Structures are given as C-alpha cells and as structure tokens.
Chain A
Amino acid sequence: SRPTVFIQRDYSSGTICKFQTKFPSELESRLDKQQFEETIQTLNNLYAEAEKLGGKSYLEGCLACLTAYTIFLCMETHYEKVLKKIARYIKDQNEKIYAPRGLLLTDPIERGLRVVEITIFEDRSIGSGR
C-alpha cells in the first residue's frame, strides 16, 4: 500500500480537537515545513472555532433545549457548518498545494477526528495528464 503519514492529535490543551504541527520527516522531500505548519494551524483554528465556548454556543444550546432539540431536525448546528468549511479548505489545499506534490490530505472526520492522514503517491503529481 502507499506510504502514509498520520498526524496525531495534540492533547496538550485538553480534549479540544487539535493536531500536532510537528513536521514529519517522510514529507521532507515533498513539502515545505512552512506550508505544512500553515495547513495544520489553519485546521486547528477552524476546529477551535467549531468548539468555541462562548455567547453564541450557549445561545444555540439553550434555544435547542427549549425546543427539546427538535430544532436540529431542520437547522444545521454551528459545528456542522464549520465542518463543511473545513471540508472546503481541505479540498482547496489538496488542489493547490498537495496534489501538485503527489500528496493527498484526508479529512480527519473520515478518521474519527483522530488523525490527519497524508498519503504519499509514487508519481510526483496526481492527475497530471495520463
């Protein structure tokens, strides 16, 4: 199978969803450290936005409770909205940065929010005129 790198969760700030920004050695030949760190940091910021405890999340929680949570049958939760944003970001990153270098980022939601999976392809770029 293709070599894969798994970026693990960073639990130093507690149970919030955050990934380690340590640059894996397997990617050294393919990617800039800067580029990688920026991707992971942006993902971390997006997850932090999803899980933020504040006025808005409390309001959503209380309102939902008053409707016995039936409101979620028709309305999307804040977290779900941010997950869509994350999916778009990952797609965008894959197209612009990772695919040209023969790498593929997998959305962490498909791995139970446990890891960011980066698959390394043999040929240097994916989808380059076959």
Chain B
Amino acid sequence: MITRKVRKWEKLPGKNTFCCDGRVMMARQKGVFYLTLFLIIGTCSLFFAFECPYLAVHLSPAIPVFAVLLFLFVMAMLLRTSFSDPGVLPRALPEEATFIEMEIEAANGNVPAGQRPPPRIRNVQINNQIVKLKYCYTCKIFRPPRASHCSICDNCVDRFDHHCPWVGNCVGKRNYRYFYLFTLSLSLLTIYIFTFDIVHVVMRSVDNGFLNTLKETPGTYPLLFLSDFLEYLSFTVLEVLVCFFTLWSVVGLTGFHTYLISLNQTTNEDIKGSWSGKNRVQNPYSHKNIVKNCCEVLCGPTYPSVLDRRGLMQEDSPVSAASAAPSSSSSNSSSSNPVPQTTKTTAPLIPNEHTPDDAKPSIAASAEKSPSPREEHHPPAPKVPPLASPETDAETSIAKDKTH
C-alpha cells in the first residue's frame, strides 16, 4: 500500500475543474467563458489602440484612464465570479447519510410492501411561512433553503441562482455579488466605449471637413465619406457592433438582477415561480425593504468556502487497483479509489433525474464505488436501511409522470 498526501480538491466529487492546485474552481465546459474573455479583451484592446490616442489628445487624457480602470474592474469581477467557489455544499459523508436515512425511516414508519414510501421532504417554518426542504439523492442531504442542485456541475449550491456558461461557473451565495458587479460594470464599460466611439466618429468627420465637403461637392460626398471612413474608422465600426449587441443583453441582464436583488430573490426561484401566485408562499427571506435587501445581497458578510480544497489528506492506494470512478473531478486517472469494495456503509451511486445520460451506464457498472472520499476505512455497519432512489419515492415519480 502506498500512502501519499493529496490535496482534497483532487478527491472532490462533482464535475468541476480545478486549477492552480485547487485555488481556482470552475465548471467543466469553459468554451463560452473563453469567448467572453475574447470579446471583452478584444474590444477593449481595439478601443485603447485606435480610439484612445485620438481622444486623449483631442478631448481629455482622463477618458482612456477611466476606461482602463473600468476595464480592470470588469476583469477582476469576471475572474472572481468564474474562479471562486459559488457556495458548493459538500456531500454527506457515509455516516451522516446513514444517520439521515435512519431518521427518514423512523419518520415514515412501516411502508406496506408494494407501496411507494412518502416523498423525502422536511417542512420548516421560516418567518411564518412553511418552506419545504427537498432531499438530494446525489449529495445525500436535505438541501438547505434556497439551495439547489446544479446538474451541470453535479453539486448542491447554496442560494443557487443559475449556472452561467458565460462565466463558466455556477452563480450562488458566494459569488453572486461579483456576478452582479460584473454585469453592472460591463454595462457601464459597453456604454462608455459605445459613446466614445460615436464621439470619435463625429469628431473625425468634423475634423476632416466632411461637412464642408458636403456643401461643395454634394455628388461625390458619399464616396469620399466612405473611403475616409474606412481608413480611420473601420475598427470603430467593429467596436460599435459588438457594443450594440452586448448592450441589449448585458444591460437587460443587469436590470433583471437589480429587480431580483431588490426583492431578495434568486433567478432559480423566479423561474420556478416559488414566491409568485396566489396560493404560493410569500418570499420569507425578503426584508420587505428594497434598501435592506440590496444591502444584504451586495454588502452582506463574505461567506467562506466550506469546501476545503487545498487541505491535505492521506490517500492509500493499493498497488493494483481499478481506475477511478467516472463522476470524480479532474483527478489523475492513475490515482485509484482508496475505499475497499467490501465496506457496506458506502452508498452505491444510483442514477437519478440529475444524472446526465452519458454517465448512467458507467455508474451502473461501478455500483460498488463510494460517492465521496473518506480518510479512514470503516468496518461494515451492522444494519443499513435500504437506500431509496427517486424511482421508489412517491413525489418524484409523480413529477416524472407529469413531464411525459
């Protein structure tokens, strides 16, 4: 047996990728994120290279300086949103999972054979409203209020807002304010560049005496304008186009999130209609005061990450072992599963509605593997209640039937 020390991020379940030895945490698909980077850096580079020299001389040097500061702020917010832990809830360790199962069994009593057990829901009263806490079959926990399971990253995220492909990460409790500031500052940057592009075009036209040319030779004006225009202003056109399309989407998004923040709601809750409708519960988390809601969301405490990514743990790897489980993060395939197969306290991976279709066959094949890493070996538990899956659960079966 070879014992080596590994960082905890290498053994985290879920579909995140980690960089810089666990300091950076992102979703698996990063293509759209690279596009975002390219668009922002590309457009700003063109602006700094072609418009700024002219504007600095003819208008004010403060214009490029402010643009640089705004650009740096946008990049800082983008990278912070993309690279930080959104508020991932670690999966329950086997003892905790078993404990919860036993509690559920005790609460349900004896279910007659052939009948589905009642849905796994806990009712909690928050601010005089009844909120239902759902059980997550993947993470083996009852999700805290406002948490949701992201199927793309395969994690439960606290105060889950949405999964944003543009930033390549989930947006949750820990990075929502950075996301909002990113969209807000990007809106400002886009408007800024757009405005000064127009100013630049106008100033160039005036400088080159287009207006005078128009008076003298009205016939050849369009041709002259076009050739000079292309000479000086082709990059400006490109920037204006990018800014124009960005404006509609980003400014709209900023407006939408400002609305959500003022009501202390998440995108997830808004889409599901959790707090809207007559017979629905009213939002118990809102302070009923726009200023207070904004303050809480934007200037509230900075929550720490509860995923100890850079902590060290022992890994015992048997010399001849099978390769790692398919749903593990981007760990080396040479590192093997440290848990022996005979341990009965491990929970077999059960495909549920959150499992992407391509992972299901491989999950079925590796049914003996444990879903979460553990630091020591536990002897088999005396008795483990049968672990339920959505197929045996009344509520999720009904929900499934409805969607068909």
Contact = CB atoms under 8 A, between A and B. Distances in A.
A78 B178 CA distance: 18
Contacts of A113: 306
Contacts of B77: 68
Nearest to A49: B301
B64 interface: no
B301 A78 contact: yes
A51 B159 CA distance: 15
A53 to B, nearest CB: 6
B126 interface: yes
Contact of B76 (A6, A70, A109): A70
Nearest to B131: A11
30 contacts: A6-B95, A6-B96, A6-B100, A11-B126, A12-B124, A13-B126, A14-B127, A15-B145, A50-B301, A51-B300, A51-B301, A52-B301, A53-B295, A60-B299, A60-B302, A61-B298, A61-B300, A62-B299, A65-B181, A69-B178, A70-B76, A72-B302, A78-B301, A78-B302, A83-B304, A111-B96, A112-B89, A113-B306, A114-B89, A115-B96
A109 B96 contact: no
Contacts of B133: 11
Contacts of A115: 96
Interface-centre pick from A1, A13, A80, A114 (highest chain B CB count, 10 A): A1
A61 B345 CA distance: 44
Interface in B120-172: 124-127, 131, 133, 141, 144-146, 158-159
Interface residues of A, number: 37
Interface string B60-87: 0000000000001100110010000000
Contacts of B181: 65
Contact of A79 (B90, B92, B285, B304): B304
Interface in A54-68: 57-58, 60-62, 64-65, 68
Contacts of B92: 114
Interface residues of B, number: 45
Contact of B299 (A1, A6, A9, A58): A58
Given A11-B126, A15-B144, A68-B73, A77 B95 contact: no
Contacts of B303: 79
Contacts of A114: 89-90, 92, 96, 141, 144
Interface centre among B77, B158, B299, B308 (most CB of A within 10 A): B299
A13 B178 CA distance: 26
Interface in B287-322: 295-296, 298-304, 306-308
In the A-B complex, the 8 residue pairs with the smallest Cβ-Cβ separation, listed nearest first, are A61-B299, A68-B76, A112-B90, A112-B306, A1-B378, A58-B299, A11-B124, A77-B302
Contacts of B76: 68-70
Nearest to A78: B301
Contacts of B32: none
A77 B308 contact: no
Contacts of B141: 114
Contacts of A109: 304, 306
B381 interface: yes
